[in-house]
Amino acid sequence: MDSRAGAEVRKRAHQLSLYVAGSSPRSLRAIQNLKRICECDLAGRYNLEVVDIYKEPRRATEDQVVAIPTLIKRAPGVVRRMIGDLSETAILRQGLGL
């Protein structure tokens, strides 16, 4: 893949930020559930940033995160927020636009 094609794929890729609280059970479930869906439905077409609010509390404030875990889908399309352990796969897929 040449650099222009790679840049185009990254531009269309899902940009995701998942806010978690350390290694709490709900946070770990959210990470596992999200990674499973992304690898199944978006393989190679997503960028996932996991933000631990204990290590980066400022980020949660900047993004106005009020509940943990919270997933923010920044792109493509409309910005969406999903709260919880992301175990409802139908709702997660809908929120991701899949």
The three-state (H, E, C) secondary structure of 23-61, written as one string: CCHHHHHHHHHHHHHHHHHCCCCEEEEEEECCCCHHHHH
Helix axis angle, 89-96 to 25-41, nearest 10°: 60
pLDDT over threshold 70, residue 8: no
pLDDT over threshold 70, residue 96: yes
pLDDT digits (tens, 9 = 90+) for 24-76: 999 999 999 999 999 999 999 999 999 999 999 999 999 999 999 999 999 99
The pTM score is: 0.85
pLDDT of residue 12: 73
Over residues 66-91, mean pLDDT: 95
Over residues 75-91, mean pLDDT: 94
Tell which CATH architecture fits domain 17-87. 3-Layer(aba) Sandwich (3.40)
Backbone phi and psi for residue 21, each to the nearest 5 degrees, phi listed first:
-115, 90
Amino acid at position 56, single letter: E
pLDDT of residue 11: 52
